[in-house]
A and B are shown apart, each in its own frame.
Chain A
Amino acid sequence: MKLSNKTKVLEQGEMTFAERIYLPAIVGGMGTTLKHFFSKKVTIRYPEQKRYLGPVFRGHHILKRDEQGAERCTACGLCAVACPAEAISMVADERKKGEEHLYREEKYASVYEINMLRCIFCGLCEEACPKQAIYLQHDKMVPVFEDRSEVIFGKDKLVEKMDNRYLREGWK
């Protein structure tokens, strides 16, 4: 049954004289490789050069602050529940008087830890978060760790720095 007109029947006949002395084809082939020799290389030298991985890449986690610089996270624990790898754990605490500029809600996470060996970067925490507090950054990867003591990332490594705010494409 013919499905399309794209089929091409190849007939392998006897080679012509030019084909049988090989040399014309060899010279042609060498021309092709020489063209590639001078063409632009596709290699990206990774650690020095990084490639843009797109706006939806899921990299290093970040705990966002709001415009006033207060942490958005209210330690509801939904991210920990959503996490299929059980990588997230937290300790909730009550906001004291005078800490309004630090935490947006009355409850906050005094400890927030992600085990980077368990994390599978699925992004379900980001989807579960009702306060838009946790995000997986599209432009930053989790740095290499060399020791097991380094794999649990606490708030010092996760909370957004005000002088280096995270902006995703499409946000204002």
Chain B
Amino acid sequence: MVYVIGCHLTDFNRRKDGSSYRDWVYETFEASLAMSSLERKDIDTLIISTESDFFTFQLNPSTVIADDLGLHKVQIVRVEGGGASGQLAVHQGVKSILSKQSQHVAIIGFDPSASYLPSETVKQLYSNSFDSLTDGMNGVTATALYALSIQLFMKKTGLNETDLANATINNRNNALHNPSAHLKLKHNQQEIFASPVISSPYRRLHCSPLSDGAASLILTNKKPLNRISAPNIIGIGSANDMVNLGARDDVGEFVSKKEAMKKASSMAGIRANEIGFAEVYDAYAGAQFQAIKALGLSSDFLKDFRDGHFSLDGKLPINISGGLMGQGAPVGATGVGQTATCAMLLEGKYHKNLQIKNIPKFALADTHGGVGTLSAVSILKSNI
């Protein structure tokens, strides 16, 4: 079994305090280690998730981080899979424990996605996070590709611009109660409809921000006797779809997510409708709906959304952290942070105003890279 005995997220925001990503990594690791009751010398494996050396100005960052954290003679792995990097790092940690290669694993995700490079440079780099021969040459942005995908999804499902606005309002409202969130904003529909169109139907306020920040987990292979409430990770799964949108069987559907969920559910031995809480990858307002449908979390996602079932007091709360749209997205940290959020919530240790009173049995963390190109999901189980 795999137990989550330490978890932490730093603030996600645009840092203006002169701190470095190496400070954030130190901060989050120390916090997780303290929560785990382990000592530094107990950690035998370090797994690092960071999307791009362009952001950090540091090649081979894992070894530098290990030195900063005082971890020596440990296994070190760096995991990268675009936006899915953090969740894939979680998977690597789980696999390492289940294969008995490791006993105590530290997983740290980070990226200085906001403050190190000008936003125009970041946008240019992201054009190359799709197929650099085709989309990269065209200069098409991530927002434009997501927009093409959601347009077909909207035509097919009846999702409309009011739903996009309401999803934005909900997630940013949740972020108001999350002290570490990047965009703690109270929006109304008029503000959203008045914000500039980046790539129709997506307006500026429908987009998640790129953030600075780090998140961490400590996993272990034995039930901690001093904390029997520590949750388990019981299912992991990942899958891909074609990078070029036009080559996909269905441009509007996140098929990779469906496949990833199938694998994770099978490993966990549960059905998607048993999930009681989910953090899903809402890089854009519409992506949240594409995710919910693909993951099989609802048989009628639009009705459930409009009826308020995905809100904090609904039957299946989703993105109560604020999601990427509210909490923010330091790319390598995102998936680690989503899993950490699930773990805290399942143990009743989440932020006071966001903690679900009736703790669900199962939670889901869902992450992807590209436009649902590489999806990775993890299922956690409560021990309360």
Tell whether A pairs with B: no
Instruction: Give B residues with C-beta under 8 Å from A.
Output: none
